[in-house]
Structure 1
Amino acid sequence: MMVKKKALLAAGAVLAAATLVLTGCSGGGAASTASATAAAGSGSLTVWVDADRAPVLKDAAAAFTQETGVEVKLVQKDFTKIQDEFIAQVPTDKGPDITIAAHDWLGNFVANGVVQPVELGDTAANYQKVAVTAMSVEGKTYGVPYSIENIALLRNTALAPTAPATYDDMVAAGKAAGTEFPYLVQLGPDADPYHLYPFQTSFGAPVFGTNADGSYNANDLSIGNAGGEGFATWLGAQGAAGNLSLNVTSDIAKEKFLAGASPFLITGPWNVPDAQKAGITVAVDPIPSAGGQTAQPFVGVQGFVVSAKSKNALAANEFLVNYIGSEKVQTALYKVGGRAPANTAAFEAASSDPITAGFGKVAATAVPMPSIPQMGKVWQFWGVTEAAIISQQGDPVGLWQKMTADIQTAIK
C-alpha cells in the first residue's frame, strides 16, 4: 500500500513514528521499514534503463517523486552494454543507484560486489516463484523481477490440430503432415544448448544440481550423470535420423516454419508476431518430453537491482518494491515489451492473451538459467560437443563425458 508521506513530514513526524505508522498500514515487514526511511523526502535516485522501458519508468518515477519527494533521474542505456558498464562504474561511485538487468548477470554482479540484496518483505508472494528464484544468489534476493521469458512449442494448428504428448508423437505428427521437416529447432554449426535444453532435462540431466532453497549448487555438476549419457545417446540417434540438423540455423528455422514446412517450431514469443503476420494460426504448447521426465526449458528473467554503492539504498528499495513491482507498472511494462509479467496479478490479467498464457504455462515448470559464475565455463564446451554428437563425430557417451571432465577442470 502506498502511503502519503508528505503529510507525515509536514507534521514533523520523527522517523520512528513514521516507521510505526507505515508498518501498521502496509504490513510489509522490511519493505515497510524502507518506505518509512524513504519518506525523508531528500536525495535522488539515478536509474539506468533501456529505451523500450524508459517511458513506463518515467510515469512510475513521477509518481514516486510526488509521494516521497525523492527525485528519480532516468538514464537511457544500451541494454547490451549495461552489465560491463555497471561493473566498471559502481566501484568508482559513478554508477547508478538502480539498473535494469538480466537475471543471469547476477552471478557476475555478486562476484564483483556491485549489488546489494533487495528486501521484498511480504511482497515476495506477489511474484511467480521462478522469477524470485532467478533473481536470487545463495539464498539472497538481489533484484525485483518484472518479466519472464522462455521457449515453448509453437504449433501451426492447420497442420497439427492437437498438441503432441511426447517427442515421438511430435515427430509422428510432423511426418503425417507431409511437410519437409517433422519439427524445427534452431541449431547451427555449434548446435544450440539453450534450445535443446528442454530435451536434456527430460532425461533428468540438469547442468547443476540445486540446493534446498532452489539455488544452483556449483559443486554438483549434474550434466554428466546417467541422464546426461542417455541424452547424448538420444542426440546421436536424432542426428543420424535427420531429425536434428546443424544446417538449420535460427533464420532458416523461422523461415521454414513461416513457409509451412513444418507444423512445429521450438522458439520463444519473439517469433510469434511474424507467424501471425504470415497468416498462421498458432498455439503455444509445452515442449514434449523425449526422455520421460518433464521437458524444462530455461527461463530468462529481467528485473532491477540496487547498486552496492547507492547512497539512498532504502529509497531505491522502496521504488523497486512498491512501484516497479506493482501490478500497474508491470502491466505497463508487459504492454511495451511483450514479455510475461513476473507479478502474478499482472500475469493473470495478461493471460487473457492465449499466447502469453501458453508461454506462461511452460514457464511455471521451467528453470532459471544458472546465474552462478561457473556457468560461464559450461557454454564453451556444451554446444560444440552437442554438434559433434549430432554430426556423428564419435561415441556420444564418450564425447559427453569428455565434455563433463573439461567443464569440471575449467571450473576448478
Structure 2
Amino acid sequence: MTLYRRNALKGIGGVTTSLTLAGCLGGLLGGGDQGTTLWNEFTEGEQETLDKHLETFNEGRDDELQSENLSDLEGQLKTAIPAGNGPHTFPWAHDRIGKYQSQDFLYDAAKDVDLDLEGTFTENAAAAVQWDDGVYGLPYGSETVSLMYNPDLVEEPPETVSEMVDIMDEHHEPENSTWGLSCPPTTGYFVSAFLQAFGGNIYDEENRDVGIESDAFIEGLELLENTVWEYVADDTTYGGQMPPFADGNAPFAINGPWQVSGFRDSGVDATVAPLPEVDGGSLTPYTGVQTWYFTSELDGAEEAAFDTTMEWAEWYATSEDVIMDNATEHGLIPVHQEYTGSDDLGEDVAMFAESVDMGTPMPVDPRVNQAFWTTFESGLEKVFNDQAGAKEAMTSAAEEIRSRWD
C-alpha cells in the first residue's frame, strides 16, 4: 500500500475503509523467537483473505508461517528490525525499498529467488522490486487511481479530458453545493497522471533528480490547473474531497480501488472507467506495486525459516487462487503475466488495469521521502491558492528539496 493510500485511509470514517486497529503486540517478539513470521497492516477483509491463503500454504508444513496484524507496521519495523526482533517478511507498496535498503532493513535475494522476474511479471512490477542490482521482494499486485463516474449524472464516461471538462462544467455550482469532481487536488499521488501527462516527472528516474522544474512538467501542472482545480471543493484534504461524490453531488471522482466499496456503500453506484485521453500527451499516474518484502532477519536465519519465507513469497505471487481473490475481493490488479488480461477479473479491475498500463511505478529512491512530498505538495498548494505561479513555486520547491539532499 502506498504512503498516500495508507495515510488517506487512517482516521477517516464513513465512506472509507476502516483499518484494523487491534495490533498484535506479541509480534514485537517475532523473528527467530516465534518461528517464521510475517507482519502486516491489512484491513479486516484483507486479513480474512490472507488467513485463508495462509492456512492453505501451511498445510503439511513442519515450519508454519505465522501472521501478526499490527496497527502501525512502519513504526514497529523501525524498532524491531534493528533489534533483530522483526518479521521475516511483510507486505507493502514497493516505494519503501530504497529507504529500507539504505537502513539495512532488507535482505537481497537476487541469488535466492527461483522465479524469472522479467519472464513472470509485468515489466513495471519486475523493475519495482529491484534497486541497485538487488532483489528485495516479490510483487503480487498493483493499484493506481482512475476515473469514477456517477451513472445517475453521467450517461457515458468521457473519452477525452475535454469531454470530461464539459460534463464537469454542467454540474459545477459550489453555491448550490455541487461540484464537478472529487479528488485530493494537491496530493501528488492522486494528480500525478495530469502532472506527468506531457513527459514530465515528479522525480526524474534517469538522472535521479527532482523533475518538477522542466517545461514538460509545468505544462502538466497547467493542465491540472485548468481541468481539475477549477472543479473541486476548497478543502484539499482526502476527507474533505470525498463527500461531493459520496453524497451524489459530483459526477466524477479520481480515486483508487480501495475507495470503490466506500462510495457504493454511501449509495452512489460508482462506476470505474479508464483515465481519459489528453490532446498532445497521455495521462500517466503513479502506480504502487504491492510487494512481499524480504527483511534482514533472513540474513543468517535458520534454513527452515529462510526456505519458508522464500516459498511463501513465490507461492503467493504465482498462485492463481491468491491472484484472483486479491483482484475480485480487493481490487488489486494482477502483475503476473498470465493473469493481467484475464476475463475473470471483473469490470472494476479491468478498468483499473487500463490505468495501471498507462502509469509508472512510484520512485524507490530513499531521498524521495516524506520531506520530499511535503515540500513538493506545499508548492502545489501555493499555486492552488494563487500564492505563486507554477514555475516560481516548482523552482522554489525543487531548490528546497535539493538543499536537503546536499
**Which bin holds the TM-score, normalised by the shorter protein?**
0.7 to 0.9
Is residue 75 from structure 1 mapped to residue 63 from structure 2 by the alignment?
Answer: no
Q: Per the alignment, do residues 56 and 70 of structure 1 end up closer, same or farther by CA in structure 2, a change over 3 Å counting?
A: farther
Which amino acid in structure 2 is aligned with residue 395 of structure 1?
G
Which amino acid in structure 2 is aligned with residue 227 of structure 1?
A
- Asked whether the 8 Å contact 1:100–1:303 carries over to 2, the reply is yes
Which of 332, 337, 343 is 2:325 aligned to?
332
Match of 2:314 in 1: 321
- Asked whether the 8 Å contact 2:35–2:66 carries over to 1, the reply is no
Match of 1:109 in 2: 100
Q: Per the alignment, do residues 88 and 262 of structure 1 end up closer, same or farther by CA in structure 2, a change over 3 Å counting?
A: same
Secondary structure of 1:145's counterpart equals strand
Match of 1:184 in 2: 182
Q: Per the alignment, do residues 336 and 126 of structure 1 end up closer, same or farther by CA in structure 2, a change over 3 Å counting?
A: same
Q: Per the alignment, do residues 363 and 329 of structure 1 end up closer, same or farther by CA in structure 2, a change over 3 Å counting?
A: same
- Asked whether the 8 Å contact 1:382–1:403 carries over to 2, the reply is yes
- Asked whether the 8 Å contact 1:87–1:112 carries over to 2, the reply is no
Alignment of 1:2-41 (within 5 A): none
Secondary structure of 2:64's counterpart equals strand
Which of 183, 199, 204 is 1:209 aligned to?
204
276-285 or 196-205, larger mean C-alpha shift: 276-285
Is residue 276 from structure 1 mapped to residue 290 from structure 2 by the alignment?
Answer: no
Residue 65 (structure 1) shift: 4.7
Which amino acid in structure 1 is aligned with residue 37 of structure 2?
T
Secondary structure of 2:235's counterpart equals coil
Residue 320 (structure 1) shift: 1.3
Q: Per the alignment, do residues 229 and 385 of structure 1 end up closer, same or farther by CA in structure 2, a change over 3 Å counting?
A: same
Residue 264 (structure 1) shift: 1.0
Match of 1:342 in 2: 335
Match of 2:241 in 1: 253
Which amino acid in structure 1 is aligned with residue 401 of structure 2?
I
| CA offset digits 1:289-343 (Å, max 9, x no partner) | 5573211111122221222232133442222113453222233344553433333
Which of 195, 214, 228 is 1:225 aligned to?
214
Which of 170, 188, 192 is 1:197 aligned to?
192
What TM-score, normalized to structure 1? 0.77
Residue 259 (structure 1) shift: 2.9
Q: Per the alignment, do residues 114 and 275 of structure 1 end up closer, same or farther by CA in structure 2, a change over 3 Å counting?
A: closer
Q: Per the alignment, do residues 246 and 177 of structure 1 end up closer, same or farther by CA in structure 2, a change over 3 Å counting?
A: closer
What TM-score, normalized to structure 2? 0.78
Which amino acid in structure 1 is aligned with residue 201 of structure 2?
P
Give unmatched runs, 5+ long, in structure 1: 1-42, 212-216
Residue 172 (structure 1) shift: 0.8
Tell me how far apart the structure 2 counterparts of residues 340 and 248 of structure 1 sit (CA, whole Å).
Answer: 28
Which amino acid in structure 1 is aligned with residue 66 of structure 2?
L
Tell me how far apart the structure 1 counterparts of residues 218 and 40 of structure 2 sit (CA, whole Å).
Answer: 43
130-139 or 372-381, larger mean C-alpha shift: 130-139
Which amino acid in structure 1 is aligned with residue 103 of structure 2?
N
Which of 352, 360, 363 is 1:359 aligned to?
352
Give unmatched runs, 5+ long, in structure 2: 1-33
| CA offset digits 1:345-385 (Å, max 9, x no partner) | 45545754111111111112211111211111421211111
| CA offset digits 1:29-88 (Å, max 9, x no partner) | xxxxxxxxxxxxxx9522223454454444544554556x4412313132x522333343
Which of 396, 402, 408 is 2:396 aligned to?
402
- Asked whether the 8 Å contact 2:95–2:288 carries over to 1, the reply is yes
Q: Which entry has the higher C-alpha Rg, 1 or 2? A: 1
- Asked whether the 8 Å contact 1:154–1:266 carries over to 2, the reply is yes
Q: CA RMSD in A?
A: 2.9
- Asked whether the 8 Å contact 1:154–1:283 carries over to 2, the reply is yes
Secondary structure of 2:212's counterpart equals helix
Tell me how far apart the structure 2 counterparts of residues 350 and 410 of structure 1 sit (CA, whole Å).
Answer: 48
Secondary structure of 1:223's counterpart equals coil
- Asked whether the 8 Å contact 2:88–2:309 carries over to 1, the reply is yes
Tell me how far apart the structure 2 counterparts of residues 393 and 348 of structure 1 sit (CA, whole Å).
Answer: 45
Q: Per the alignment, do residues 120 and 162 of structure 1 end up closer, same or farther by CA in structure 2, a change over 3 Å counting?
A: farther
Which amino acid in structure 2 is aligned with residue 226 of structure 1?
D
| CA offset digits 1:186-227 (Å, max 9, x no partner) | 23xxx322222111011322122234xxxxx52x32221111
Match of 2:293 in 1: 305
Secondary structure of 2:253's counterpart equals strand
